[in-house]
């Protein structure tokens, strides 16, 4: 009886966590989609007479060091960070899925060469490699997306390769090969559809990781132009204000980065439990 009650409590907690995560993600998407067209305010408008005002009814998140409304700036910054995260995450997932499937399906020396290349790139820290990529271009959204995508496909490639290797020994693959299916047809019709759930999970997990990566690059002054609102730029520009005792220019952009990424991680955890029955059964024990 006690075990049943504990399992029921865990299920309830998990449902509440998933519902809260979905609600936060939904609110974030509505904010970034609806606020810019509905709120007819210029998020770049400077008002030096209103600089560094604390949170109030007129400015719920206060103002920054040149008098711009911080709530509006945070929404625009989250919009840019989400754009970078989604596009870079999907691109990295596509690259990783293609490389991992190619290596596992080909086998032999092709698999060994590809995985040694993956190991070589993995030995270089992501941030250092990303800095090297963005340094070759002018600051902007495009170079940041390219930087994140080219440095974050490695883990997806390993996951997809492991899944394809386990699927190659399944009876339905043997039946397809015995029926005369070519290697390319087996990959496209049988192997790739089987690894899509894992690849989709990797893409969801990649979005918050890419958002943090973009914020780190922008904080270092290597990502987006300083005048363009992004969460990393907002935190970077608020460093002087924080040292002077003005906490709101740093706190709210940080929350806009932390809360959505935690919500996405919560949804990804629920997805992982759904596609991995063994993991779900372990959680029920």
**Tens-place pLDDT, residues 138-183:** 878 888 888 888 888 888 888 888 888 877 777 766 676 666 666 6
CA atoms within 13 A on the CB side of 62: 18
DSSP 63: B
- The arithmetic mean of pLDDT across residues 186-195, rounded, is 74
Least confident of 2-11, 94-103, 120-129, 220-229: 2-11
The string of pLDDT tens digits covering residues 108-135 is 888 888 888 888 888 888 778 888 888 8
Residue carrying the six token digits 């600089």:
51
The string of pLDDT tens digits covering residues 46-103 is 777 778 888 888 888 888 888 888 888 888 888 888 888 889 889 999 998 888 888 8
| Spatial distance between the Cα atoms of 164 and 145, rounded to a whole number of angstroms | 28
Q: How confident is the model at residue 231 (pLDDT cuts 50, 70, 90)?
A: confident
Q: How confident is the model at residue 280 (pLDDT cuts 50, 70, 90)?
A: very low
| Spatial distance between the Cα atoms of 60 and 49, rounded to a whole number of angstroms | 17
The tokens for 165 are: 């290797």
Beta carbons within 8 Å of 64's beta carbon, 6+ residues apart: 51, 52, 70, 73, 234, 237, 238, 241, 249
Residue 188 CB neighbours (<10 A): 14
Cα separations (Å) of 228 from 9, 164, 224, 265?
46, 42, 7, 27
């Amino acid at each position: 009886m006690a075990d049943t009650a504990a399992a029921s409590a865990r299920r309830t907690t998990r449902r509440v966590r998933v519902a809260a995560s979905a609600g936060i993600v939904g609110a974030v998407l509505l904010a970034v989609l609806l606020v810019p067209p509905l709120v007819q305010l210029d998020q770049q408008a400077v008002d030096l007479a209103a600089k560094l005002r604390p949170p109030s009814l007129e400015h719920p998140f206060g103002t920054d060091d040149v008098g711009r409304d911080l709530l509006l700036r945070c929404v625009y910054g989250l919009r840019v960070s989400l754009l970078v995260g989604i596009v870079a995450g999907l691109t990295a997932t596509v690259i990783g899925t293609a490389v991992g499937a190619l290596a596992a399906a080909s086998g032999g020396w092709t698999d060994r060469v590809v995985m040694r290349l993956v190991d070589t790139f993995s030995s270089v820290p992501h941030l250092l490699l990303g800095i090297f990529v963005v340094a070759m271009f002018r600051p902007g959204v495009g170079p940041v997306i390219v930087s994140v995508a080219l440095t974050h496909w490695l883990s997806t490639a390993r996951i997809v390769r492991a899944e394809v290797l386990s699927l190659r020994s399944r009876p339905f693959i043997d039946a397809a090969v015995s029926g005369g299916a070519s290697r390319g047809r087996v990959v496209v019709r049988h192997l790739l559809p089987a690894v899509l759930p894992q690849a989709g999970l990797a893409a969801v997990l990649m979005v918050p990781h890419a958002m943090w990566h973009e914020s780190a690059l922008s904080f270092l002054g290597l990502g987006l132009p300083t005048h363009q609102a992004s969460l990393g730029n907002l935190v970077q520009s608020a460093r002087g204000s924080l040292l002077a005792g003005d906490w709101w220019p740093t706190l709210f952009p940080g929350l806009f980065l932390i809360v959505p990424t935690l919500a996405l991680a919560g949804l990804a955890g629920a997805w992982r439990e759904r596609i991995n029955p063994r993991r779900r059964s372990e959680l029920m024990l």
